[in-house]
């Protein structure tokens, strides 16, 4: 059997091990890789086991991770990343899962720069780069790194990490250092950079920061200083697409907005999410037996 070539998409752009397995196997099949051949290379279970994992009927058992890493020909950081993706699905909520997520974020950030020919992916792999860059751009000039450290409202960053972040921004020519004063200013003439086109896993860390920060903002800021709202509503597919278009237009307007003669006083984050909560396409999904509940009564009223 011809040896399967490596999947060109690096594992660090995936945040789900099943998605990676599907992509890897879908590519390997072109080179006559079969599920049976894969499972023999992994040295675990039977062919049905691999099928169940791909169909998400079963989770990959922790004791089989090493075998799958061998079959996938993952080494070093790639194998470590795959291991963490599996452990993420087994971890209990709370500190255990947060620990795994933080390790994933660190590995992704350290290795994402090898995925593309420019710095875009590494820039977007962590919240700190776009946030700090936008702060310096809004200020126009900062005299010291401590100004950045003490400007955060909902999270903290050690001074050493601030320094490393700014050094990266200088390296990418997004910020420049004033050699006479020792301060920092944005590079002029740059357009606003966005997350468009970045794989989900790349921006995972930023999305998590937005969610955590919005919760902190609701708990600490008066209503006149933040606008956080939510709604739940049944929609048709057509209405969903219409609202998606409106959200994209709002986002574009937000990015293109000009402050005029007014100097920015905060760096704001716009985070709008629209996603399904329940399926209402089947009567059986709604009512189980297919019989509607009595008028004016919830199915749970008598529980």
* Domain residue extents for the chain: 11-114, 122-256
Q: Which residues pair with 177 in a beta bridge?
A: 184
Q: Which fold has domain 122-256?
A: Arc Repressor Mutant, subunit A (1.10.10)
**Range in 21-25, 206-210, 236-240 with the lowest mean pLDDT:** 206-210
Helix, strand, coil share (%) of the chain residues, nearest 5? 55, 0, 45
* Strand bridging mode 175-177 / 184-186: antiparallel
Question: Mean pLDDT throughout 207-217?
Answer: 82
Mean pLDDT of the chain, nearest integer: 80
Q: How far is residue 24's CA from residue 78's CA, in Å, rounded to a whole number?
A: 13
Q: How far is residue 174's CA from residue 118's CA, in Å, rounded to a whole number?
A: 13
Inform me whether the pLDDT recorded for 296 exceeds 70: no
Work out the angle at residue 198's Cα, subtended by the Cα atoms of residues 190 and 231, and round it to the nearest 5 degrees: 100
10 closest CA partner among 116, 103, 124: 116
pLDDT grade, residue 193 (50/70/90)?
low
Inform me whether the pLDDT recorded for 2 exceeds 70: no
3-state SS, residue 137: helix
């Amino acid at each position: 059997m011809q040896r399967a070539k490596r999947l060109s998409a690096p594992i660090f752009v995936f945040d789900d091990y099943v998605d990676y397995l599907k992509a890897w196997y879908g590519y390997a099949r072109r080179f006559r890789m079969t599920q049976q051949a894969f499972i023999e290379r992994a040295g675990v279970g039977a062919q049905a086991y691999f099928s169940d994992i791909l169909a998400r009927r079963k989770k990959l058992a922790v004791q089989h991770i090493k075998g799958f890493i061998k079959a996938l020909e993952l080494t070093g950081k790639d194998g470590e990343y795959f291991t963490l993706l599996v452990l993420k699905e087994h971890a209990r909520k709370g500190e255990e899962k947060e620990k795994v997520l933080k390790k994933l974020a660190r590995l992704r950030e350290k290795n994402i720069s090898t995925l593309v020919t420019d710095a875009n992916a590494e820039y977007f792999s962590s919240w700190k780069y776009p946030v700090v860059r936008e702060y310096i751009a809004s200020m126009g000039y900062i005299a010291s790194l401590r100004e950045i450290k003490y400007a955060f409202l909902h999270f903290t960053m050690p001074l050493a990490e601030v320094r490393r972040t700014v050094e990266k921004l200088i390296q990418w020519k997004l910020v420049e250092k004033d050699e006479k004063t020792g301060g920092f200013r944005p590079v002029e003439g740059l357009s606003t950079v966005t997350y468009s086109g970045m794989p989900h896993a790349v921006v995972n860390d930023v999305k998590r920061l937005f969610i955590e920060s919005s919760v902190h903002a609701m708990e600490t800021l008066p209503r006149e200083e933040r606008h956080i709202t939510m709604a739940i509503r049944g929609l048709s597919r057509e209405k969903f697409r219409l609202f998606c278009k409106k959200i994209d237009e709002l986002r574009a307007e937000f990015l293109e907005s000009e402050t005029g003669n007014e100097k920015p006083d905060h760096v704001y984050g716009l985070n709008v999410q629209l996603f399904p909560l329940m399926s209402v396409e089947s009567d059986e999904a709604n009512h189980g037996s297919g019989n509607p509940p009595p008028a004016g009564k919830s199915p749970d009223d008598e529980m």
